[in-house]
Structure 1
Amino acid sequence: PTSRENMLRLKKAGVERIGIGLDCCTEELFNKWKKNVPSWDEYMKGLKTAKEVFGNATAHIIIGLGESDEEAVEIMKMLFQQGIKVALFAYTPVHGGLPPDMGRYRAMQLARCLIEKGKGDFVFKDGKLHEMHADEICKDAFLTSGCPSCNRPFYNERVRGPLYNYPRKLKDNEFKKAIDEVKKYVRIHTSAP
Structure 2
Amino acid sequence: MLQTIIEAIVAYAATNIDDLLVSLLFFAQAKSRKEDWQIVFGKYLGIALLTVISILGAYGLSFLPAKALAWLGLLPAWLGIKELRDKAENKEAAPLGQRNWTAAVALVTLANGGDNVGVYIPLFAGHSVQELLLVSLVFLLLTGIWAWLGQKIARWPRLQAMILGRQKLVTAWLYFSLSAYIVLKAYC
* Structure of greater relative contact order (alpha carbons < 8 Å, 6+ residues apart): 2
TM-score using structure 2 length: 0.25
Length-normalised TM-score, structure 1: 0.24
